[in-house]
Amino acid sequence: MLSDIEICRATYLQPITHIARDAGLLNEEYHPQGKYKAKISLKAIERLRDQKSGKLIVVTAITPTPLGEGKTVTTIGLSQGLKKLNQSVMACIRQPSMGPIFGVKGGAAGGGFSQVAPMEELNLHLTGDIHAVTAAHNLAAAAIDARIYHEQRQGYDAFEKRTGLKALRIDNQQVVWKRVMDHNDRALRMVSVGQNEPNKTINGYEREDGFDISAASELMAILALSKDLKDLRQRIGKIVLAYGLNGLPITTEDLQVAGAMAVSMKEAIEPTMMQTLEGVPTLIHAGPFANIAHGNSSIIADSIATKLCDYTVTEGGFGSDMGFEKACNIKASATDTKPDCAVIVATLRGLKVNSGLYDLKPGAAIPDSLFEPDNDALLAGFENLKWHINNVAKYGVPAVVAINRFPQDSQQELELLQQWVNELELPCGVAISESFAKGGEGAMELGKQVIEACQLPSCFKPLYSLDQSIEEKLMAVTEVGYGAANVTLSYQAQKQLKLYEKHGLNHLAVCLAKTPLSISTDGSVKGAPKGFEVNIRELRLCAGAGFIYALCGNVMTMPGLPDIPAFMALDLDDDGNIVGLS
Amino acid sequence: MLSDIEICRATYLQPITHIARDAGLLNEEYHPQGKYKAKISLKAIERLRDQKSGKLIVVTAITPTPLGEGKTVTTIGLSQGLKKLNQSVMACIRQPSMGPIFGVKGGAAGGGFSQVAPMEELNLHLTGDIHAVTAAHNLAAAAIDARIYHEQRQGYDAFEKRTGLKALRIDNQQVVWKRVMDHNDRALRMVSVGQNEPNKTINGYEREDGFDISAASELMAILALSKDLKDLRQRIGKIVLAYGLNGLPITTEDLQVAGAMAVSMKEAIEPTMMQTLEGVPTLIHAGPFANIAHGNSSIIADSIATKLCDYTVTEGGFGSDMGFEKACNIKASATDTKPDCAVIVATLRGLKVNSGLYDLKPGAAIPDSLFEPDNDALLAGFENLKWHINNVAKYGVPAVVAINRFPQDSQQELELLQQWVNELELPCGVAISESFAKGGEGAMELGKQVIEACQLPSCFKPLYSLDQSIEEKLMAVTEVGYGAANVTLSYQAQKQLKLYEKHGLNHLAVCLAKTPLSISTDGSVKGAPKGFEVNIRELRLCAGAGFIYALCGNVMTMPGLPDIPAFMALDLDDDGNIVGLS
């Protein structure tokens, strides 16, 4: 079979102007960026405000292996399947981060005959939104250290006299805004900045700092959760960067940097339209990870898509404990658009890994033996799928299981799995998806089931309401959601919780960062664990995004490169074409 | 008078497709990015290979004040003036760095009625080239630290066995590739990376590191100096990132990251076409600084422009000791296109500062008193202009002085200055330029003089040839060029020189990093200093760019933000328009 990039290159693509026009956008509402990408103006939202919204389908998954279960393939494939069923449809996905592209996972455009195209433009830079987030984020970081430097060097009174600005008296040890970079760069997790030659302060005042990957930036969440440019600007102004020596929060407005940050993100707020290999218009917007961020593409993209067509297919990262939970508890609470249906992607190999009978190390390739028939492992791993079906039901959202078929899969096991789903007490659709090998045609059965599920009466409800206490919200996600026995807070997290309560921040949502490789916070525990504890080691305030960010277990907010990174395969051939991207 | 951004917004701009077509490009040679920007395909160079080249005019300046003398205003104004004289003309400038935009200088699109438009798109992100350079640069940095981590953690033999890769045995203390960021971020000059909790190495191995501004990246120089994509790829492969424990250089090819870096810069190699307020097509490409890099926009942009039109106006950063020196000694030696004429921009206020009679501190605003008539200061400062006229003559390039007029300038002083230039022994044109206030019309006289100068027989010669030794080249630039009494190397620089000689790198050019605020290496020494020493404290190898990078005096490769940074003025108004950008 051809590689992803070869399939993509061999496919005829329509000019993006045709795609945008056929999707119902007016001339002045799209701005082509090259032949196959266009920025979509937020004017479209204004114009379409009174239109009836179509259905929103959120694609989620079982607890995945490190290589993923094919959620994007299924998202794109399903959108193509719905098109083949003569439905009006769009897909909405997040921009891929270059960290995983150069690291373990490779590209994130889908695969086979279900891709967003041109896949190399999606995977590399796109229209620069992640770079804009990175730039705006690091501007604030530079601004804090510069302000500390000038105030301390000149002295507070002299500083006020010289500049006419109020001295902010920032506590060096209480800068809570780290820097970010869109790479997997382990060495930047813990750094010290502002180092100097002995007895000099020419580079500022030394302090401990660190870099997160850009996907984890609060600005990325703000981009995804904002309704419009004004909302973006206001949210940016609420970001707490540091605390003063008096213990009070110092915001971007205090540093007079919020305006410049919003200016820097002015173009990023417009989603980018591309197309799938079968011509389904696809909006790409924001790029958060569901393990260390809220993990869903933007409210703005969904708003445009649901107004323009009857079915919008989007995805939440990783399993339903991760991106789907946040789609329901964070994203849906920030907008009027609620999920009408969930698609749970499962693979035979992924379920077998969830049996716990295979010793699969993170970063390691999946052994061939996983594709051999093994009903015991499949049955044991089925517990994980059941858990995710039940989890989706907690939110009152109808679900369809999509079995993402691999060529090596055994027919007998595929049938067995469908039978098990059909025998569950909880009504739930199930279909085999061959989106990878067959494109939309391979997802028509799935599409039919999804259309049926979308006709069911919606009784969506999140797990908590914003007026509950932060602790109650954490309990709702971990105990009601994950099914943990209980949730505990480290001493540091308890102190932080008290501080946020003192500052009147009880109304914020909660965003949990944890391993995606287990429903629990221990990546080695597979299946459907029970009775486990969730320990929150740190709480970070994201007042602009509108949530408290809780770090569980040993989750890292900056990934590292493996010893055989994906970038080694990448190069240009003699004709200047990219090779080695999949 | 209206602000720059107001003038820009009030001006009718043509669709970039018209500009590109009228410039002589074929449909398939430009790819619009929004309405007013287009990426230009390198196919145009192929097609035009056998066309006769037009004249190349390099705009340079006297030794500038920290606010600049209006070099970009004059570059854009002159191109507009030549258009008004019915000449076929294009401008080629570098992409502005966001460091100075948010820091001291503000935007870099020109100003008044001589701007590249839309100026906010030029100043912010543009088409993402600087971000692509930053991403490719930091990928290599992440790759080194990851390789050190995996090799040391697993052990060399175990690493080779597990991965099938050769252990590189990188010396932690000899990583010469720093990280970069496109911000003025003082606190990142000296950092330590790979820090850990006590007794752990989970974040890698701690070592001293630092960030340069992206403009100083060797990749930025490579982008500007490459002839085509193949050349770019080959140059990237020559970059030395570190040294092994055996003392031998370790390149990007050794790390197998060169291909991915080139892939990441695949779109950045295409110049971006925009237009001036009067519709002159303008190519924007690369963004190096002339103080800490070679400071000229790209060979590719020049190649396209000189083939398409009779006159191409470009600029080299800062005074003629800086960007112009490098345009002649580095850029011209990497291509066939040589400067046919130099324009030296001078201002009355800038010359008066060069008298040394005014105590102007870097970062401080220019006092109003500088605009009062003061013939003594002007005459003293004239020595600096004479120096730059003589300096340009050393390269055999005909020169025209452009006096960039400010509204407060006295007529009497303007006339006096022209008279002094006319009385010089060295023949040199002179014209007052009112590009800022009057656009092209204000630069028609300058345009006429430039056309005349371009008719003179060209006898261009650089100050050194590449087959001289590195020391001879350093002497050529400092002693013959700057007029220094002598050049000395620190102990560290001497050791580095020996190393590079040992590795057979004598054939490289030299690129000096020094303060732009003086011809000497001490920014407080104004005018036309003599008998000074140049001390080189460090030599850095840029084998891909093709030069040895020499750091003089206390020049910094990462600027800092001032205490009242430009970003404070920036914001969005209620209609979502940018305010405060100039």
In order, the DSSP letters of B489-538 are E-HHHHHHHHHHHHTT-TT-EEEEE--SSSSSS-TT--SS--S-EEEEEE
pLDDT on residue A388? 98
B264:A135 CB<8 A: no
pLDDT on residue B457? 85
ipTM of the complex: 0.96
| A146: nearest CB among B142, B230, B565 | B565
Q: How many angstroms separate the CA atoms of B468 and B460, rounded? A: 18
Q: Which residues of A touch B155 (CB under 8 A)?
A: none
A229:B576 CB<8 A: yes
Is B295 flagged in the annotation as binding? no
A196:B190 CB<8 A: yes
Q: Is A51 exposed, middle or buried (0-12, 13-18, 19+ CB in 10 A)?
A: exposed
% of chain A residues with pLDDT over 90: 92
| Closest CA in chain B for residue A187 | B194
Q: Which residues pair with A208 in a beta bridge?
A: A192
To test the contact with chain B by mutation, choose from A190, A205, A300 the residue with the greatest count of B C-beta atoms within 10 A, namely A190
* Among B284, B339, B295, CA closest to B318: B295
Residue A106 has pLDDT above 90, yes or no: no
To test the contact with chain B by mutation, choose from A119, A152, A567, A578 the residue with the greatest count of B C-beta atoms within 10 A, namely A567
pLDDT digits (tens, 9 = 90+) for A146-187: 999 999 999 999 999 999 999 999 999 999 999 999 999 999
Judge contact between B520 and B484, C-beta under 8 A.
Answer: yes
What is the crossing angle of helices A411-422 and A375-394, to 10°?
Answer: 40
SS (H, E, C) B148-201: HHHHHHHCHHHHHHHHCCCCCCEEEEEECCCEEECCCCHHHCCEEECCCCCCCC
B256:A567 CB<8 A: yes
pLDDT digits (tens, 9 = 90+) for A248-300: 999 999 999 999 999 999 999 999 999 999 999 999 999 999 999 999 999 99
Largest pairwise CA distance in chain B: 80
A263:B193 CB<8 A: no
Residue A363 pLDDT class (50, 70, 90 cuts): low
The mean pLDDT of chain A is 95
Average pLDDT of span A116-120: 95
pLDDT on residue B456? 93
Residue A504 pLDDT class (50, 70, 90 cuts): very high
* CA distance, residue B161 to nearest chain A CA (Å): 12
Residue A369 pLDDT class (50, 70, 90 cuts): confident
Determine if the pTM surpasses 0.90: yes
What number of CA atoms fall less than 13 Å from residue A460's CA on the CB side?
Answer: 21
Strand B547-552 vs strand B281-284: parallel, antiparallel, or unpaired? unpaired
To test the contact with chain A by mutation, choose from B28, B139, B182, B213 the residue with the greatest count of A C-beta atoms within 10 A, namely B139
Structure tokens at B138: 């930091």
pLDDT on residue A8? 92
| Closest CA in chain B for residue A561 | B146
pLDDT on residue A362? 62
B189:A203 CB<8 A: yes
Structure tokens at A401: 């299981």
Q: Which residues of B touch A33 (CB under 8 A)?
A: 32-34
pLDDT on residue B371? 84
Residue A509 has pLDDT above 80, yes or no: yes
Average pLDDT of span A122-133: 97
Query: Can you list the residues of chain B whose pLDDT is less than 50?
Result: none
What is the crossing angle of helices A444-455 and A71-84, to 10°?
Answer: 80
A131:B145 CB<8 A: no
Q: How many angstroms separate the CA atoms of B227 and B230, rounded? A: 8
Q: How many angstroms separate the CA atoms of A300 and A42, rounded? A: 8
| A34: nearest CB among B31, B132, B568 | B31
Average pLDDT of span A439-444: 98
pLDDT on residue A178? 98
Structure tokens at A256: 């007079």
